[in-house]
Structure 1
Amino acid sequence: MIGIIAALKDEVRDIKNNMTQVETSEKAGMTFYKGMLYGKLVVAVMCGVGKVNAALCTQALADLFNVDCVINVGVGGAVAKGLTVGDIVISKDSVQYDMDASAFGHPRGEIPNMDMTFFPADERLIELAKEAAAKVGAAALVGRVMTADLGVDSQALKQELTELFGGACVEMEGAAIGQAACINHIPYIVIRSISDNADGDLVETYQNNFQMSVVNAAKMVLEMVKNY
Structure 2
Amino acid sequence: MNSLCQRLLSVLFLTVLLWAPQAHAAERFDDTPRIAVISAFEPELVLLLDKLEHARKYSANGVEFTTGTLQGKPAVLFLSGISMVNAAMNTQLALDRFNVSHIVFSGIAGGVNPSLHIGDVTVVERWGQYLEVLMARETAPGVFSLGERGDTGFPHFGMMYTRPVKVKSAAEPKIHKKFWFDVDPELLDMAKGLRNVELSACDAAHECLNRQPRIVIGGNGVSGPAFLDNAALREHVFAAFHANVVDMESAACAMVAYSNDVPFIAFRSLSDLAGGGEGANEMHTFMNIAAANSAKVLLAFLDAWK
* Alignment partner of 1:131 is 2:193: yes
User: Which of 260, 266, 289 is the matching residue for 1:190?
Assistant: 266
- What is aligned with 2:55? 22
Contact 1:95 1:109 in 2 (8 A): no
**Deviating more after overlay: 79-88 vs 110-119:** 110-119
- What is aligned with 1:64? 97
Q: Find the residue that maps to 1:136 and give its secondary structure.
A: coil
User: Which of 196, 219, 241 is the matching residue for 1:165?
Assistant: 241
Q: CA deviation at 1:175?
A: 0.2
Hey, what's the Cα distance between the residues in 2 that align with 1:67 and 1:10?
23
Hey, what's the Cα distance between the residues in 2 that align with 1:180 and 1:212?
29
Q: Find the residue that maps to 1:86 and give its secondary structure.
A: coil
- What is aligned with 1:226? 303
Hey, what's the Cα distance between the residues in 2 that align with 1:12 and 1:177?
16
Q: Find the residue that maps to 2:133 and give its secondary structure.
A: coil
User: Which of 179, 188, 197 is the matching residue for 1:117?
Assistant: 179
Contact 2:127 2:251 in 1 (8 A): yes
Q: CA deviation at 1:63?
A: 1.2
Hey, what's the Cα distance between the residues in 1 that align with 2:98 and 2:294?
24
Hey, what's the Cα distance between the residues in 1 that align with 2:192 and 2:292?
17
Hey, what's the Cα distance between the residues in 2 that align with 1:21 and 1:203?
42
Contact 1:130 1:140 in 2 (8 A): no
Contact 2:126 2:180 in 1 (8 A): yes
Q: 1:178 to 1:29 in 2, by over 3 A?
A: same
Deviations 1:115-169 (A, max 9, x none): 110000011211222333x230451222211100111111110111122211111
Q: CA deviation at 1:92?
A: 0.3
Q: Find the residue that maps to 2:177 and give its secondary structure.
A: coil
Amino acid at match of 1:16: L
Give matches, 1:46-65, under 5 Å: 46-65=79-98
Contact 2:223 2:249 in 1 (8 A): yes
- What is aligned with 2:294? 217
Q: CA deviation at 1:216?
A: 0.2
| Residue ranges of structure 2 left out of the alignment (5+ in a row) | 1-33, 137-145, 154-161, 167-174, 200-213
User: Which of 201, 211, 215 is the matching residue for 1:140?
Assistant: 215
| Structure-1-length-normalised TM-score | 0.94
Hey, what's the Cα distance between the residues in 1 that align with 2:111 and 2:181?
20
Hey, what's the Cα distance between the residues in 2 that align with 1:81 and 1:204?
15
Q: CA deviation at 1:200?
A: 6.1
Number of residues of Structure 1 aligned to a counterpart in Structure 2? 227
- What is aligned with 2:159? none
- What is aligned with 2:27? none
Hey, what's the Cα distance between the residues in 1 that align with 2:64 and 2:163?
31
Hey, what's the Cα distance between the residues in 1 that align with 2:121 and 2:223?
16
CA RMSD of aligned residues (A): 1.7
- Which portions of structure 1, spanning 4 or more consecutive aligned residues, are displaced by more than 6 angstroms? none
Structure of larger gyration radius? 2
**Higher helix content, 1 or 2:** 1
| Residue ranges of structure 1 left out of the alignment (5+ in a row) | none
Give matches, 1:27-106, under 5 Å: 27-101=60-134, 103=146, 104-105=149-150, 106=152
